[in-house]
Amino acid sequence: MSENEEHSTGGVYSVKGKEFTRDSRYIETRIMAEPRAGTDDYPVEPGRYRLVAAYACPWANRSIIVRDVLGLQDVISLGTPGPTHDSDSWTFDLDPDGLDPVLGIHRLKEAYERRFPGYPRGITVPAMVEVETGQVVTNDFAQITEDLFFQWKAHHRPDAPDLWPAELRPEMRDVMRRIYTEVNNGVYRCGFAGSQEAYDAAYDRLWTAMDWLEERLASRRYLMGDAITEADIRLFTTLVRFDPVYHGHFKCNRQKLTELPNLWGYARDLFQTPGFGNNVDFDQIKQHYYVVHTDLNPLSIVPKGPDLSGWGTPHGRG
Per-residue pLDDT of the chain (318 residues; tens, 9 = 90+): 332 233 334 445 555 667 888 888 899 999 999 999 999 999 999 999 999 999 999 999 999 999 999 999 999 999 999 999 988 999 999 999 999 999 999 999 999 999 999 999 999 999 999 999 999 999 999 999 999 999 999 999 999 999 999 999 999 999 999 999 999 999 999 999 999 999 999 999 999 999 999 999 999 999 999 999 999 999 999 999 999 999 999 999 999 999 999 999 999 999 999 999 999 999 999 999 999 999 999 999 999 999 999 999 999 998
41 Rama sector, left if φ>0, alpha if ψ -120 to 50, beta otherwise = beta
What fold, for 166-280? Answer: Glutathione S-transferase Yfyf (Class Pi); Chain A, domain 2 (1.20.1050)
Is 57 annotated as catalytic? yes
231 three-state secondary structure? helix
Binding residues, as ranges, are 90
Task: Indicate the helix (H) or strand (E) that contains 50.
Answer: strand 49-52
Is 188 annotated as catalytic? yes
User: How far apart are alpha carbons 51 and 66 in whole angstroms?
Assistant: 12
C-alpha to C-alpha distances, 149 to 12, 16, 39, 72, 274, nearest whole angstrom: 27, 40, 21, 10, 17
C-alpha to C-alpha distances, 144 to 75, 120, 304, nearest whole angstrom: 15, 21, 34
Per-residue confidence (pLDDT) for residue 21, from 0 to 100: 82
Q: What is the pTM of this model?
A: 0.94
Torsion of CA 273, 209, 253, 250, to 10 degrees: 80
User: How far apart are alpha carbons 168 and 81 in whole angstroms?
Assistant: 35
* Phi (first) and psi of residue 22, to 5 degrees: -95, 135
User: How far apart are alpha carbons 274 and 301 in whole angstroms?
Assistant: 32
Out of 3.20.20.70, 3.40.605.10, 3.30.450.20, 3.40.30.10, the CATH code matching 12-155 is 3.40.30.10
User: How far apart are alpha carbons 182 and 255 in whole angstroms?
Assistant: 16
Per-residue confidence (pLDDT) for residue 151, from 0 to 100: 98
Name the catalytic one among 49, 112, 188, 290. Answer: 188
Contacts of 149 (CB under 8 A, 6+ apart): 66, 70, 163, 164, 230
User: How far apart are alpha carbons 187 and 181 in whole angstroms?
Assistant: 10
Report DSSP state, residue 222.
B
Per-residue confidence (pLDDT) for residue 4, from 0 to 100: 28
User: How far apart are alpha carbons 92 and 111 in whole angstroms?
Assistant: 13
Centre a 10 Å sphere on the Cβ of residue 121 and count the other Cβ atoms it contains: 15
31 three-state secondary structure? strand
All CATH 1.20.1050.10 domain ranges of the chain, comma separated, are 166-280
User: How far apart are alpha carbons 235 and 61 in whole angstroms?
Assistant: 11
Among 40, 22, 43, 17, smallest CA distance to 32 is for: 43
User: How far apart are alpha carbons 16 and 295 in whole angstroms?
Assistant: 12
Centre a 10 Å sphere on the Cβ of residue 118 and count the other Cβ atoms it contains: 6
Name the catalytic one among 49, 57, 266, 290. Answer: 57
User: How far apart are alpha carbons 309 and 299 in whole angstroms?
Assistant: 27
All CATH 3.40.30.10 domain ranges of the chain, comma separated, are 12-155
Binding residues for glutathione, as ranges, are 90
